[in-house]
Chain A
Amino acid sequence: MRRKTLRTIALSVAAATAVALSGCAGGGGGGDAAAGGTVTLWVRDYQEAIMKPLADAFNKSHDTKVKVTLVPAGEFVQKLGTAAAGNNAPDIASIDLVFTPYFASVGALADITDKVEALDYADDLSPAHVAQGQYEGKTYSVPFTGDVSVLFYNKTLFAEAGLDPEAPPKTHQEIADAAARISALGDGKYGYVFSGACGGCNIFSMTPLIWASGGNVLNEDGTKALLDSQEVTDALQLYRDMWANGDMPELVQTDNGPNAGTPFQEGKIGMKGDGTFFLGTLASEGTVDFGVTPLPGKDGGSASFAGGDNLSITSGSKNPDGAWEFLEWATGEEAQTQLADASVLPIRMDLLDDIYIPKDPRYQVFADALAKGFVPYSTVENELFNDNNGIWATLIAESVFGGDIEAAQKKAQKAAQALLDEAND
């Protein structure tokens, strides 16, 4: 029974450390606050621009001080895992929500069920984030930031190709047609771009094409793989056809994340599936006239990956009370408003109408996507989907660039099911 946790040990460690003093290093120090002291927080590096101001705002109004450490995004899971194994984990981890089931399952996170239930707005938190924060009926994290996937399209290129910039694609066929017409413009213009060697990117931007068709990659409780289903075939076929037709630039075959956005930002690409963060980048540059639309299914419908970060207190935290103080504040109106002002999608469903949607007409698409977003639930997410050499990334590479979709699906399904069986036995 590998991967199953030693919850008892982890929890007793947590209890022991909770009893231990909360290291009093607070600058300014007032004696009456519940917690005080310093808490450390790890976050993926690309969120520096939002995390630093948020920490400053918290530190100004609290005796407890939060100290932010940026961790390279590609190594976050490894670093947090090794740190937890060596009892050097931070007090708070801002974890890509898909990894919270894993860290909860191995006892690395503290059980905060009672505290979360006591929040006034417990029922107004993003449902997808809440679901990922739970493991075997207990809650191990609170939602923090939203990052949902939609289809970005370049309105200028749509117009140039004779397409209506106000009528973005609503089916797979319409995506393929638009891509072909934009590529026909020539001059280095391509219809579609994605990161073909990146597992995480595609669970974010490609699975919505599957969900919207009514399919899935895993069943509800993450025990069965569905990688050989027809809806998966349809999405792979769409990408395969666009690649074979030359509607994608060559870089997509080897890009593992960082480069696919650049040609879109340069105005050379018609469409790209991406998230809320990308909108911030595009909007601040202001060079591309773009629109956003939900990612469609084969014959219509739409779906989205409801991503972002969850905040968890680690089971080894020396200052769990101080850590909770930050978690509670970070999900509160002040912090969520500050996030919305920084064009991050808040996770408080009750606040979206006031603090987020009015800021930009395109935000409505994100808000809707968050409400009905999907996230596959799995304790082996990293190995199954996010590993750039793993099952999911290999399935995409072999299907889209190799062409034998059926064989690739068969192989991936077998490997994925074996992995899930091993993890869930």
Chain B
Amino acid sequence: MTSTLLPPAPAAAAALSSPRRRRTGLGRRRQLTGALLALPAIALLGIFFLWPLTRTVFMSFFDWPMLGAAEFAGLDNYAKAFTDAEFLRAVGFTLVYTALTTPLLLVVGFGLALLVSRRTRAARFFQTIYFLPVVIGLASGSFLWLFMWQSDVGPTTQLLGSLGLVDPAKNIFADYWGALLIVVGMVTWKVAGLQMLLLLSGLQSIPVEVNEAARMDGATGWQVFKHVTLPLLRPTLALVLVFSVAGSLLAFDQFYILTTGGPANSTITAVYQIYRTSFIQFDLGYGAALSLLLMLVLGLVSAVQMLLLRNSDHS
């Protein structure tokens, strides 16, 4: 910046080099302005992501209790993770949960999107209704469902009980599948609206002409869907998949509130286990190592999905 403010010194040299100089000066000034404008974002990124991340990596190589002295432990924490039965069980359960929710969310979200894809007022009305649960916080939603399905006192169990569909005195949360299905139901209710909205915008970005052309060529509704809609929707589908897989792998709140890991610790997810390691067992170093392993898995999953997205992007 200072150089641009200096007067071009020797006249002879100035004649030759000043245009270039001015251009580099301008470029530099632009760069600086850019950097300045990006600074707040960089600062936020640094403070809330890069610094904690660096620190997490650092801590993961230590035996680091919440209070007291940390001791260097090398790769011990990482090695421990692969033989830690509790953590492995949590990882296994997280995968089961992800395998269960991901297709369900996709199908329900897609179904809803198709239902509201007509450009009518009624469709907008239902679209709003389906989207409403999305704006409720995950914790609030969990507490709501926790109450709804309580044995004896929950309104849902009462209602279904009076219809003779369930035994209202039965404690659904005491059963592995009962507890898991309630969580899956809650998450579907809570998240499907967002999936719907994303898929809807994907659907609506498909030019009407393409569909019309296919129909003119004699394609049936199913054929149009399979050969036109789906391929053109693939980028959106990939995005929705990344969202729901990442969300499921990071599941914590819903289980913490609805099942507290029960019955008999059968619904503890990976993040739940990280929470227990760090804040109940106060073993922050090991918790950091587990977090990084989880981050690695998430990165891999996203990378694979991005790869699929790129290969399928015909546009």
Interface residues of A (CB under 8 A from B): 1-6, 9, 78, 81-82, 84-85, 103, 106-108, 197, 250-251, 253-254, 256, 382-383, 387-390, 394, 397-398, 401-402
- Interface residue ranges of B163-208 to A (CB < 8 Å): 169-171, 173-174
Which residue of B170, B264, B279 contacts A402 across the interface (Cβ within 8 Å)?
A: B264
Q: A2-B63, A253-B171, A254-B173 are in contact. Are A401 and B260 (CB under 8 A)?
A: no
Q: Give the chain A neighbours of B69 by CB distance below 8 A.
A: 4-6, 9
Determine whether the beta carbon of A4 is less than 8 Å from that of B68.
Answer: yes
A-B contact count (CB 8 A): 88
A387 to B66, CA, bound (A): 16
Report the Cα distance A4→B63, complex, angstroms.
11
Within 8 A of A (CB), among B55-95: 63, 65-69, 71
A402 to B279, CA, bound (A): 28
Question: A1 vs B70: C-alpha distance in the bound complex, in angstroms?
Answer: 10
- Asked whether, in the complex, the Cβ of B68 is within 8 Å of the Cβ of A253, the reply is no
Question: Quick check: A81 and B282 within 8 Å, CB to CB?
Answer: yes
Q: Least Cβ distance of B304 to chain A in Å?
A: 32
CB-based contact B68/A81 at 8 Å: no
CB distance from A389 to the nearest CB of B (A): 5
Report whether A401 and B281 are in contact in the complex, using a CB–CB cutoff of 8 Å. no
3 A-B pairs with the lowest CB-CB distances in the bound complex, closest first: A106-B67, A250-B171, A253-B174
Contact of A81 among B66, B263, B268 (CB under 8 A): B66
Residue of B nearest to A105 (CB): B68
B65 touches A197 (CB 8 A): no
Apart from the given pairs A254-B174, A397-B265, 13 other A-B contacts in the complex at a CB distance below 8 Å: A6-B68, A78-B280, A81-B67, A81-B282, A106-B65, A106-B68, A197-B263, A250-B170, A251-B152, A253-B174, A382-B282, A389-B262, A390-B280
Q: A2 and B283: CB pair below 8 A?
A: yes
- Rounded to whole Å, the gap between the CB of B115 and the closest CB of chain A is 36
Residues of chain A within 8 A of B65, CB atoms compared: 2-3, 106
Query: Which residues of A sit under 8 angstroms from B71, Cβ to Cβ?
Result: 1-2
In the docked arrangement, what's the CA distance between A209 and B263, Å? 24
Specify which chain B residues have a CB less than 8 angstroms from the CB of A84 in the assembled complex.
67
Main secondary structure of the interface of B (DSSP, over half): loop
> Are A389 and B68 in contact, CB atoms less than 8 angstroms apart?
no
**What residues make up the interface of B, taking CB atoms closer than 8 Å to A?**
63, 65-69, 71, 151-152, 169-171, 173-174, 259-265, 268, 276, 279-283
Find out whether the CB atom of A398 lies under 8 angstroms from the CB atom of B264.
yes
Could you name 20 residue pairs across A and B whose Cβ atoms are closer than 8 Å?
A2-B65, A78-B280, A81-B67, A85-B66, A103-B67, A106-B65, A107-B67, A107-B68, A108-B67, A197-B262, A250-B171, A254-B173, A254-B263, A256-B262, A383-B280, A389-B260, A389-B261, A389-B265, A397-B262, A397-B265
Cα distance A84–B174 in the bound complex, in angstroms: 37
Return chain A residues, CB-CB under 8 Å to B169.
250
| Given A6-B68, A106-B67: A251 and B280 interface contact (C-beta under 8 Å) | no
User: Which of chain A's residues has its CB closest to B170's CB?
Assistant: A250
